[in-house]
Amino acid sequence: MMLRAYSDLTNLERFLRSRLPHKDIRALVQTYAQPYRELMSYYRCAMMEVETKFNVLNEELSLQYDRNPIESIKTRLKSPESIMEKLQRRGYPLTVESIEENLNDIAGVRVICAFPSDIYRLSDAFLKQDDITLLRRKDYIAEPKPNGYRSLHLIVETPIFLHDQKRMMKVEVQFRTISMDWWASLEHKIRYKKDLPEIDFVNRELYECAELSAQLDARMEMLQHIAADSAERKPSLQEPRGLRATAGHI
Ligand code: 0O2
């Protein structure tokens, strides 16, 4: 993945310009731009580390289960606008140190799985790795949010190895099935974070869709188990019947 340090700086400057007088901006950029750029680059490195771990698990587990448990992996670095907005909203200082200290989701990795059981299998395997420390776990699959949102969220700490130091970085990992991701993406477009008046009909319909998508996940998982069981009982295609029957007599 390409490092995008310069575009981060440009975005940050653009955000500050819209909010502050010119002389304050110059002072702020001089004080914070370089440390901010460095911090964002460390977060990008941490995302790469975590993404690689999931690619490795996907490769290994795909041999074991004869299918890929991971459909896709998305990574995102929180935008300067969202960082500032979150710090402000929660009453934290607007400093580079405060970003690292107070926000857990600057680096985000979203792992989209085929089936709900893949989520728990993958997250267990990931958390067993000795360079991953679990800081927080929120299981919105076992206990969906009141609006119907489902996903497994982990905040972990992982080391990145720089030329002269080892640095611990926080990464938020979200695990979803395809249908959980489909619902969350559309709900995000329709409602999430929008300053809309509460519309009961929309809320109820979105909740209903979340329930339906959970039922579809459960049905698809059941079909997958049935298919996998019957494939296990079937004689291997590489082993012709005649050979199996006479193997003991050769
Ligand atoms: P974005 O734009 O996706 O980055 P904290 O982890 O303490 O900082 P919070 O909000 O308690 O804050 O964390 P939580 O509940 O683990 O949710 C964090 C992220 O989950 C959100 O990030 C969303 O990506 C996703 N999420 C949580 N609830 C919902 C929901 O109801 N609908 C949808 N579509 N997504 C949700 P951000 O930073 O809010 O947004």
Q: What is the pTM of this model?
A: 0.82
What's the chain's average pLDDT?
A: 86
Give distance in angstroms: CA of 192 to centre of ligand 1.
9
Asked whether residue 97 carries a pLDDT value surpassing 80, the answer given is yes
Q: Do 201 and 188 touch, CB atoms closer than 8 A?
A: no
223 belongs to a structural domain: yes
Q: Which amino acid is at 44?
A: R
* Domain of residue 198, CATH code: 3.30.460.10
> Whose Cα sits closest to atom 31 in ligand 1?
149
Give distance in angstroms: CA of 97 to centre of ligand 1.
22
- Ligand 1, atom nearest to 145 Cα: 31
Q: Probe ligand 1: pick from 83, 188, 190, 193, max atoms within 8 Å of CB?
A: 188
221 belongs to a structural domain: yes
The whole-number average pLDDT for the span 60-72 is 89
Give distance in angstroms: CA of 10 to centre of ligand 1.
25
* Structure-token match 């030329």, residue found: 163
pLDDT digits (tens, 9 = 90+) for 158-193: 999 999 999 999 999 999 999 999 999 999 988 765
Give the pLDDT score at 149. Answer: 97
Nearest to 141 by CA among 206, 217, 51, 73: 217
250 belongs to a structural domain: no
243 belongs to a structural domain: no
**Backbone dihedral angles phi then psi of residue 177, each to the nearest 5 degrees:** -85, 175
Give distance in angstroms: CA of 81 to centre of ligand 1.
16
49 belongs to a structural domain: yes
Residue 126's domain spans which residues?
7-237
191 belongs to a structural domain: yes
150 belongs to a structural domain: yes
The whole-number average pLDDT for the span 16-26 is 70
Q: What is the 3-state secondary structure (H, E, C) of 153-222?
A: EEEEEEEEECCCCEEEEEEEEEEEEHHHHHHHHHHHHHCCCCCCCCCHHHHHHHHHHHHHHHHHHHHHHH
- Ligand 1, atom nearest to 76 Cα: 4
Query: 181 CB contacts (<8 Å, ≥6 apart)?
Result: 110, 112
Higher pLDDT: 36 or 33? It is 36
Give the pLDDT score at 231. Answer: 78
Q: Probe ligand 1: pick from 192, 202, 203, 213, max atoms within 8 Å of CB?
A: 192
Q: Probe ligand 1: pick from 47, 88, 104, 105, max atoms within 8 Å of CB?
A: 105
How many domains does the chain contain in total? Answer: 1
pLDDT digits (tens, 9 = 90+) for 115-146: 999 999 999 999 999 999 999 999 999 999 99
For ligand 1, residues with CB inside 6 Å are 104-105, 138, 145, 147, 149, 153, 184, 187-188, 192
Give the pLDDT score at 190. Answer: 87
246 belongs to a structural domain: no
Asked whether residue 244 carries a pLDDT value surpassing 50, the answer given is no
